[in-house]
Structure 1
Amino acid sequence: MTNDLLNEAEEFIRSCYKELNKTNQELENRLNQINKQILIYDFYEHTAEELEYGAKVAWRNSNRCIGRLFWEQLNVIDKRNLNSEEEIISALFEHIRYATNNGHIRPTITVFTQKSPNKTVRIWNHQLIRYAGYKTERGVLGDPHSLSFTETCIKLGWEPKFGKFDVLPLVIQINENQPKLVEIPETLLLEVPIRHPHYKWFEDLNLKWYAVPIISDMMLEIGGITYTAAPFNGWYMGTEIGARNLADELRYNMLPQIANLMGLDIKNSISLWKDRAILELNTAVLHSFWTDGVSIVDHHTAAKQFKKFEEKERNSEREVSGDWTWLIPPLAPATTHIFHKSYKNEINKPNYFYQPKPY
């Protein structure tokens, strides 16, 4: 374990200090310092500069993300010094406020203490802001993706509201302590009502979505050190909402209802009713976010941005890794250059990784 950590630490520090244009003397001094820490304590701590670099490069290395052009613009908030659930919750509220920025979304990550034998911090939520899902006699009410977590929150004492778009509470746990549950203040929540530029009946569907997707259940790994609580966000690509969250059969499944209201024949696939309905749903999502001044990107623009990212990486003599099945947008993928390319889906570190659910 010690040798593995030494090797990963050295590989990270050499890469970090090279890209940050540090001197050879600074590099050797830091490596000696880290070696001593690991040999004595079996771990080491990143400097603020190393943490910021590592978090940004983890985004650059994220194979499934089409938005990596902006990796250098990530705002890194260092909260490794916090020790209590109350302090962590306050920091999460601050992350939501700062990242939301009245709709001008700022890419942000808040990093809490590293995992150690004495300390582990976990955020139970998949995303800091997410809608509840309830099993009812008529099927699922709300978001089916949230069924198990919603039941967990109810067992922990949360009072369900049984609405279609109920924002779930935050659940924080330190070590094996009793998890702490808290509602997100409404003043921090920015949600966008979904309406269509031409179909006025769209408003009657009473659809909406939250402004910022803050992933909170993944771990950040930098140079052999693991941060089990490091929520991060960019801004939405429209298809994430319009072609997945609101459209998937296993999510809100809105396509049949929209197609019916459009007067389409949903009994015959040759009518391409799903294609026409999903196009108008995505049109509505983009229109609504733009009208409300909330940052969002369409999939064609995102693909062009990814192409620019590929060019910049090539100029920096770095090969772009990628998971093709995630990089192609779920709407009109063949109209993007990504569809016609292949990528090595190899994992480079630093990076963000899935971890087992704590519940």
Structure 2
Amino acid sequence: MTTTTRRKIAEQATAFLGEAYFELGKSEEDAKRRIQEVLEQIEQTGAYIHTYEELKHGAKMAWRNNNRCIGRLFWQTLEVFDARDVRDELGAAERIFNHMSYATNSGRIRPAITIFPASHSDNRLRIWNHQLVRYAGYRKENEIVGDSASLAFTDACQKLGWRGAGTRFDVLPLVIQLEGKAPKWFPLPQETVLEVPLSHPENSEFEQLKLQWYAVPFISDMALEIGGISYAAAPFNGWYMGTEIGARNLSDTDRYNQLPTVAKLFRFDTATNTSLWKDRALVELNAAVLHSFKKQGVSIVDHHTAAEQFLRFEKQELDHGRAVTGRWSWLIPPMSPATTGIWHRSFDDTERTPAYRYQAAPY
């Protein structure tokens, strides 16, 4: 490790610890003592080990700093599971399944993150999945069956020996790879995957479409960066905003492309754009998503409420002397954005740390 790299880690560690200890109500003496201890560790080893309290608060700060997340009002409720002691794939899988069960909570979803060994550790690992629960995508002769966003990962899973049933909604396995070893896959236990069949609050024929989605968005391919230390495996979850499912996953033409199907069911005129059939189908599909999740007792938020919550978050942060950063193009919902308060705002898109970072797929 170069002197420049050590210096950079030391600078990031000092900045994080100073901010975190202040927010945690620690004394200035405690902060200085801890910073000195960490600087000595970095000088000796090139890295340092977070205490659980630092890890916990750092993960929460990363959520608070996430410019692309509209749901940051609840950043302090994040449950942090420390899995830095994991040594093998089975142990990692068990921690993940425990996380999934805790977070799913029979539909009353709880935000959580499980943090695996740091990237500089000899027991570091990667999770191949983009999300812990995700539907497979299969290339057929003239069509794609399932989720086209999962085509590459589905191919990778099949090369590892996994076989799906070939339906539109096959749940992919969990794939874990320890550094220097071949990846291993594990089927997700049925009790860890809650799925919601979609129905419509007014149109009983909607169920004929046989649409569904999984209850919890577990993001599992991003790295968590805290004070110069990176954790390449740190799956986390909140709950869905309805438009993520209804206006993107099921509606995008390169995903499930269900707007023409929904329009046909509701007998909208698809011969001309001036009928606004896409807009009307989009509303009905999103109404079905919200109705179905609530019917099944599964946590979800509509985009109007989410936007109001974000503005409350901004006020809270300003009250604490912290300016809110954000990426406007991500904060506005993908449906009727001009009806939300966020539409009329602008935000500083500066990236702060701690943070969740994108990283290249390992397959």
Scaled by the length of structure 2, what TM-score is found? 0.98
Kindly state the Cα deviation for residue 264 of structure 1 after the two structures are TM-superposed.
Answer: 1.1
Name the structure 2 match of 1:266.
270
Aligned positions of 1:1-359 closer than 5 A: 1-116=5-120, 118-359=122-363
Instruction: For 1:95 and 1:346, locate their aligned partners in 2 and report how far apart those are by CA, in whole Å.
Output: 31
Q: Which amino acid aligns with 1:228?
A: A
Kindly state the Cα deviation for residue 120 of structure 1 after the two structures are TM-superposed.
Answer: 2.5
Provide the secondary structure at the position in 1 that maps to 2:80.
Answer: strand
Instruction: For 1:341 and 1:198, locate their aligned partners in 2 and report how far apart those are by CA, in whole Å.
Output: 35
Provide the secondary structure at the position in 1 that maps to 2:356.
Answer: strand
Provide the secondary structure at the position in 2 that maps to 1:9.
Answer: helix
Instruction: For 2:190 and 2:327, locate their aligned partners in 1 and report how far apart those are by CA, in whole Å.
Output: 36
Contact 2:86 2:123 (8 Å CA) reproduced? no
Kindly state the Cα deviation for residue 89 of structure 1 after the two structures are TM-superposed.
Answer: 0.3
Kindly state the Cα deviation for residue 117 of structure 1 after the two structures are TM-superposed.
Answer: 6.0
Q: Which amino acid aligns with 1:152?
A: A
Provide the secondary structure at the position in 2 that maps to 1:357.
Answer: coil
Provide the secondary structure at the position in 1 that maps to 2:168.
Answer: coil
Instruction: For 1:189 and 1:20, locate their aligned partners in 2 and report how far apart those are by CA, in whole Å.
Output: 35
Deviating runs (4+, > 2 A) in structure 1? 117-120
Kindly state the Cα deviation for residue 160 of structure 1 after the two structures are TM-superposed.
Answer: 2.3
Instruction: For 1:313 and 1:99, locate their aligned partners in 2 and report how far apart those are by CA, in whole Å.
Output: 26
Instruction: For 1:160 and 1:48, locate their aligned partners in 2 and report how far apart those are by CA, in whole Å.
Output: 39
Contact 2:87 2:123 (8 Å CA) reproduced? no
Instruction: For 2:55 and 2:340, locate their aligned partners in 1 and report how far apart those are by CA, in whole Å.
Output: 34
RMSD: 0.7
Instruction: For 1:346 and 1:48, locate their aligned partners in 2 and report how far apart those are by CA, in whole Å.
Output: 28
1:77-123 CA distance string (max 9 Å, x none): 11111111010000011111000000000000000010116343100
Give percent identity, aligned residues only: 53
Kindly state the Cα deviation for residue 138 of structure 1 after the two structures are TM-superposed.
Answer: 3.1
What are the ranges of 5 or more consecutive residues in structure 1 without an aligned counterpart?
A: none
Scaled by the length of structure 1, what TM-score is found? 0.99
Instruction: For 2:317 and 2:32, locate their aligned partners in 1 and report how far apart those are by CA, in whole Å.
Output: 27
Provide the secondary structure at the position in 1 that maps to 2:230.
Answer: strand
What are the ranges of 5 or more consecutive residues in structure 2 without an aligned counterpart?
A: none
Q: Which amino acid aligns with 2:18?
A: R
Q: Which amino acid aligns with 2:222?
A: M
Q: Which amino acid aligns with 1:183?
A: P
Q: Which amino acid aligns with 2:348?
A: K
Provide the secondary structure at the position in 1 that maps to 2:13.
Answer: helix
Instruction: For 1:57 and 1:130, locate their aligned partners in 2 and report how far apart those are by CA, in whole Å.
Output: 27
Provide the secondary structure at the position in 2 that maps to 1:334.
Answer: helix
1:49-89 CA distance string (max 9 Å, x none): 00000000000000000000000000111111111101000
Provide the secondary structure at the position in 2 that maps to 1:248.
Answer: coil
